[in-house]
Structure 1
Amino acid sequence: MTSLPVVNQPPHRCGALLDHLSRRMRLRSETVLAPLGLRPRHLIALTVLRDMRGSSQQDLAKILQMDGTNVVGLLNELEAANLVERRRSTVDRRRHVVELTDVGAKQLAKAEFALAAVEDEVLSGLSVEQRETLYELLHQATSKTDAEACAEGITNC
């Protein structure tokens, strides 16, 4: 029997584990969002609109990093479900302001409770303290902007 060659092991890398965890979270999230008539992209838009207390369509497109045409389609879906409403800006009649409706705020709250249960399930192997540490580390990792990472030579620009 031949033995396997000894190779130097690279340091632990998180990418594959984060991808696996992300896939598990995404699949479970989609499962609990579907009965609410929501998809992840809906949830993101509703969350942004709630946190910003409304937005112009143009600003929403920038925040979501979506083409304006795609944002219109997204808003059409949300408006048809009575989750958001669009109206002309009183300041600039050429612009539309988008706001969460009461129905949208309630649906978002239901979704957030459902997603909290998903997170508890997927991260059940971690203690409360470990989850808080994970959150802090992920928040720190994602807080660096692309421009900052580029300036530091971390990413290719």
Structure 2
Amino acid sequence: MATSPVPDQTPCRSGPLLDHLARRVRLRAESVLAPMGLRPRHLVALTLLRDRGGSTQQGLASMLEMDGTNIVGLLNDLEATNLIERRRSPEDRRRHVVVLTDAGAKQLAKAEIALEAVEDEVLCALDREQRETLYELLQRAAAGAEVICVERVED
């Protein structure tokens, strides 16, 4: 029976490591966000809305890679707790623009403080400069993935 040759060096694949770290962060994040009535997907949506100054429902669904039904459910959760507001788009009355409320901005700030401790725990092997580098690289990767996602929606 022939065996596959074993490479001298294992290829560097980021996916499994990112998945492992994401799971650890997600599990810890869920435990600190739950008392605030938030889930990680809520936090991502709130962060995107803050950073972009709002978004259409369709645009937010695209950025979050969620279908229309799921984005409505997510937005209903956030709207029920007054963290976001849906407004008719002035350019197209058939569309809704989703914006962060003042209460949403305050809740997001509290959540980010709580998540700082989670990151300290999960990323304890990295010093401050390494964490900043990691953050910058992840932002760049996320921006590249977003461009691909937007291109798909426009096609």
Same fold by TM (over 0.5)? yes
CA apart distance, 1:129 = 2.2
Q: Which has the higher contact order (CA 8 A, sep 6+)?
A: 2
**Alignment: residue pair count:** 142
**Runs ≥4 in structure 1, deviation > 6 angstroms?**
none
- Aligned partner of residue 97 in structure 2, secondary structure: strand
Distance, in Å, in 2 between the alignment partners of 1:146 and 1:50 is 17
Does structure 1 conserve the Cα–Cα contact (< 8 Å) formed by 2:63 and 2:146?
A: no
Identity %: 68
For the structure 1 residues 147 and 115, does the alpha-carbon distance in structure 2 shift closer, same or farther, using more than 3 Å as the test? closer
Distance, in Å, in 2 between the alignment partners of 1:43 and 1:146 is 17
CA apart distance, 1:66 = 1.3
Q: Check if 1:51 corresponds to 2:46.
A: no
- Which residue identity is paired with 2:114? A
**Please, what TM-score do these two structures have when normalized by structure 2?**
0.78
- Which residue identity is paired with 1:52? R
CA apart distance, 1:81 = 0.8
Q: Which has the larger radius of gyration?
A: 1
**Please, what TM-score do these two structures have when normalized by structure 1?**
0.78
Q: What is the RMSD of the two structures over their aligned residues, measured on CA atoms?
A: 2.3
Structure 2 residues without counterparts, runs of 5 or longer: 1-5, 149-155
Distance, in Å, in 2 between the alignment partners of 1:80 and 1:16 is 36
Q: Which residue of 1 aligns with 2:110?
A: 110
Q: Which residue of 1 aligns with 2:153?
A: none
Structure 1 residues without counterparts, runs of 5 or longer: 1-6, 149-157
- Which residue identity is paired with 2:70? N
For the structure 1 residues 127 and 75, does the alpha-carbon distance in structure 2 shift closer, same or farther, using more than 3 Å as the test? same
Distance, in Å, in 1 between the alignment partners of 2:50 and 2:146 is 25
Distance, in Å, in 2 between the alignment partners of 1:50 and 1:72 is 18
